[in-house]
Amino acid sequence: MSEADPAGTAAGNGAAAEAMVDVRGVSRTFHRGRTPVPVLRDLSLRMEKGEFLALMGPSGSGKSTLLNLIAGLDRPTGGEVIVGGSAIHRLSERKLAGWRARNVGFVFQFSNLLGALSAERNVAVPLLLTSFSARERRRRVDIALEIVGLSARGKHRPRELSGGEQQRVGIARALVNDPALLVCDEPTGDLDRTTSAEILDLLVALNRDHGKTILMVTHDPVAAERASRTLHLEDGRLAECGHDGTIEVPVHEPAGAAV
């Protein structure tokens, strides 16, 4: 995607064969006191550019941990995480922050907008990290709000918006720096069925029309159905799911192998 097109239209859904995400033999162990608690063990995952992948699994299965590793919010205990060609597990804290600002858009369960700022100012927050001119920032905010269908609500404060609209503003904020990868952690978890469907429609459109690669963690099978592929994570293992919800291929990937 070019700067002139923050949402991007260059790549279609699954059009490219190059991997956007390449997780190789990753493990992540936390410590509870002195007791090690392994959450992910020797896990591998490959996502193609332009893919929309849903990640499901029970609470505590490591979905968010995996998402954090791919988004550069956490570091693996072992293995490699390569996103967009960058081995992000090797980057320093500072470089990793810069990489996130340029390459990843975050959508959370709650929109987490700053209550004192208008919608358009919330969307503009990631642009504080750029050297764009005020005019370019303005243009990007306008485009991002247009994509999520909230051009007319830019001046409104979060409390003046519905839950669905707030989540749309959150998505616009994720898009404004034109990242190639969107990571969504339970993006519909706090919304009713109708609003959830609208948000999912928007994510599908971003994937299909703007070529965004999307990794979505969800508990909701209906939401997962909208993705092009669904993986199930349980006991630190990944399995491919069918759209009828059945786990088709329980697999444990050796290091370096891809799903």
Partner 1 sequence: MSSFTLISAALRRKKTRTFLTFSSVVFAFLIFGVLSMLQTAFSMGAEIANEDRLVVRHRVSLFQLLPQSYEADMEEIPGVVDAMHMTWFGGVYQDPSNFFMQSPVEPAEYLDMYPEILVPEEAKLRWIETRNGAIAGRALVERLGWEVGDRIPIQPTIWRQQGRGDDAWEFELVGVYDADVEGFDQTQFLFRYDFFDEARSFGRGQVGWFMVRIADPDRAPEIAAAIDDTFRNSAAETKSESEGAFAAGFANQVGNLGLIVTSILGAVFFTILLVAGNTMAQSVRERIGEIGLLKALGFTSSRVQRLVLMESVTLVTTAGFLGMVLAVGLERVLRPALAAYFPGLFLRPEDLLLGLGLAVVTGLVVGIFPARRAMRLETALALRRL
Q: What is the DSSP string of 71-98?
A: TTSS--SEEEEEETTEEGGGS-HHHHHH
Stretch that binds partner 1, among 44-52, 70-78, 197-205, 239-247 (CB under 8 A): 70-78
Please identify which residue in 1, 16, 101, 259 interacts with partner 1, judged by CB under 8 A.
Answer: 101
Stretch that binds partner 1, among 98-106, 197-205, 217-225, 242-250 (CB under 8 A): 98-106
Is residue 39 involved in binding partner 1 (CB under 8 A)? no
Residue whose entry in the numeric block shows the structure tokens 């997780």: 23
Closest CA to 42 of 80, 91, 69, 74: 80
Is residue 14 involved in binding partner 1 (CB under 8 A)? no
Is residue 152 involved in binding partner 1 (CB under 8 A)? no
Tokens representing 58? 């029970």
Is residue 17 involved in binding partner 1 (CB under 8 A)? no
Minimal distance, residue 165 CB to partner 1, in Å: 18
Closest CA to 51 of 6, 21, 9, 23: 21
Minimal distance, residue 115 CB to partner 1, in Å: 7
Query: E strands within 142-242?
Result: 181-185, 213-217, 229-234, 237-241
Please identify which residue in 13, 77, 86, 112 interacts with partner 1, judged by CB under 8 A.
Answer: 112
Please identify which residue in 102, 139, 156, 219 interacts with partner 1, judged by CB under 8 A.
Answer: 102
Q: Which helix (H) or strand (E) holds 146?
A: helix 134-147
Give the interface size with partner 1 as a residue count (CB under 8 A): 29
Minimal distance, residue 126 CB to partner 1, in Å: 5
Please identify which residue in 25, 46, 74, 132 interacts with partner 1, judged by CB under 8 A.
Answer: 74
Q: What is the C-alpha separation between 51 and 235, in angstroms, rounded?
A: 25
Stretch that binds partner 1, among 39-47, 50-58, 114-122, 147-155 (CB under 8 A): 114-122
Please identify which residue in 19, 40, 66, 71 interacts with partner 1, judged by CB under 8 A.
Answer: 71
Site string for partner 1, 76-95 (x = CB under 8 A): -----------------xx-
Q: What is the C-alpha separation between 228 and 51, in angstroms, rounded?
A: 7
Bridge partner residues of 207 (DSSP): none
3-class state of residue 25 by DSSP: strand
Do 216 and 226 contact (CB within 8 A), yes or no? Answer: no
Is residue 258 involved in binding partner 1 (CB under 8 A)? no
Closest CA to 212 of 185, 164, 175, 169: 175
State the residues that interact with partner 1 by CB under 8 A.
68, 71, 73-74, 93-94, 97-98, 100-102, 106, 108-110, 112, 114-117, 121, 124-129, 137, 173
